[in-house]
Amino acid sequence: MSRLGIRGLQVDLGERTVLDGVDLEVESGTLAAILGPSGCGKTTLLRAVAGFVTPRRGTIRLGGRVLVGPGHVLAPEARGVALVPQEGALFPHLDIAANIAFGLPRRERRSSRVSELLDLVGLAGSAQARPHELSGGQQHRVALARALAPAPGMVLLDEPFAALDATLRGNLRAEVRSALAAAGATALLVTHDQDEALSMADSVAVLQGGRIALHDSPVRAYEAPPDLGTARFLGELVELPGDLVAGRAHCALGEVDVVSEPGLREGPVTLGLRPEQLRLGGGGPAGVGGTAGVIRGREYFGHDSLLAIELSDGSVVRARVAGRPPLEDEVHLYVVGPVRAYPR
Ligand SMILES: Nc1ncnc2c1ncn2[C@@H]1O[C@H](COP(=O)(O)OP(=O)(O)OP(=O)(O)O)[C@@H](O)[C@H]1O
């Protein structure tokens, strides 16, 4: 078992404290995605777990072992942690089998482990190929197989799909997910892509201001973020000022139900809802409520469309509708489900 436990981790780079009290627990055999603004320290966190930077304070445990603790730093090669770099970094002069074998101790390089790993990443027929003969996605799968070769307790993936096109990325996410699950490895995935984090990971963490601001299941992270900062990070957010009275808020969209939260007080609030919570039509489920709006912008994505809709007070909200955008400009829109409110 290889549960990851990070407590009070502080990492200084040059003059700057990049990580400042990171606490993160990742259950054995699960994948946690790390999201956060550019430069917030996501790669630094992976490097600290791998052993390439030495924290000033804090502890990192993997399974029953302490990787970093007071007065104790385990060497990178003794940690049982594999880092899959963004570029894959295969050896061009070695064939695929030899690239994968490179991850194994010398005495195991001729064993059946290489063919097991080729099977695991779906490249059984490519043992003799050279890296340049494979597509970008296939090369990434080889890099993953090489990382998994020594059966590490922990696999670290740093933006592994960033350089790939959208279709390849979609397929590869599912393949990498199932290869990691089959290997039983615990994994940390750094990504800029919210869809990738929500669709691939068992849990999603947002790193902000040197700390973990949120770590929860993808559904709770998307639907019930604790504050506006993290809510914005997990997908598009419609923000509107409102006035909260008796569990309902008055806002430019009419009167909406608000999720009750401990500590949320009546009075001025900022409402945060997702664009798919706005629907077009003649009113709410009971045919009442909602408000009139005028479509000012349309973006068509095939499976859905995003509309910019101006409300009567001049504010503009974004609504996501299935399929094609409507042709008419004047619409009626209403809110589905309770919305979250944050103190203002
Ligand atoms: N050797 C270094 N000395 C000083 N500062 C550094 C060093 N390496 C990185 N930094 C700074 O530390 C911060 C965190 O870098 P890191 O690469 O971990 O961020 P990130 O969240 O992975 O960024 P991105 O999403 O843009 O890849 C950045 O502001 C970076 O400029």
Q: What value of ipTM does the predicted structure carry?
A: 0.96
- Given a contact cutoff of 8 angstroms between Cβ atoms, the answer to whether 62 and 80 are in contact is yes
Pocket of ligand 1 from Cβ distances under 6 Å: 13-14, 16, 18, 36, 38-44
Q: Say which residue the tokens 């008796």 belong to.
A: 246
Sheet of 248-251: strand order equals: 254-257, 248-251, 238-245, 267-273, 340-343
Residue type, 314: G
Give the model's pLDDT for residue 198: 94
What DSSP character marks residue 128?
Answer: T
Cβ contact 109:92 at 8 Å: no
195-245 per-position pLDDT tens digit:
899 999 999 999 999 999 999 999 999 999 999 999 998 999 999 999 999
Predicted local confidence at residue 41, as pLDDT: 95
Which residue is closest in CA terms to ligand 1's atom 28? 39
User: Are the beta carbons of 24 and 187 closer than 8 angstroms?
Assistant: no
* CATH class of the structural domain 237-343: mainly beta
> What is the enclosing helix (H) or strand (E) of 66?
strand 65-69
pLDDT band at 46 (very low <50, low <70, confident <90, very high): very high
For ligand 1, atom 26, name the residue with the nearest CA: 38
CATH architecture of the domain formed by 4-228: 3-Layer(aba) Sandwich (3.40)
**Residue 38 Cα, ligand 1 centroid: separation in angstroms?**
8
Amino acid 88: pLDDT:
66
- Compute the distance between CA of residue 41 and CA of residue 45 in angstroms, rounded to an integer: 6
Query: Residues near 16 by Cβ (< 8 Å), separated by ≥ 6?
Result: none
pLDDT band for position 287 (cuts 50, 70, 90):
very low
Query: What φ, ψ does residue 195 adopt, rounded to 5°?
Result: -60, -40
Q: Which residue, by CA, sits nearest to atom 10 of ligand 1?
A: 13
Q: Which amino acid is at 250?
A: H
pLDDT band at residue 87 using 50, 70 and 90 as cut-offs = low
* Domain positions in the chain: 4-228, 237-343
CA-based torsion, 329, 335, 336, 339: positive or negative: positive
CA distance 74 to 65: 10
Helix 166-183 to helix 136-148 angle (10° resolution) is: 20
| Range 285-302 average pLDDT | 82
Q: What is the mean pLDDT of residues 236-264?
A: 91
Pocket test for ligand 1, best of 10, 20, 35, 40 (most atoms within 8 A of CB): 40
Of 11, 16, 56, 156, the residue with max ligand 1 atoms within 8 A of its CB, to mutate for a pocket test, comes to 16
State which H helix or E strand residue 86 sits in: none
Inter-residue contact 59 to 6 (CB < 8 Å): yes
**According to the model, what pLDDT value does residue 126 have?**
84
- What pairing do the DSSP bridges indicate for beta strands 203-208 and 31-35? parallel
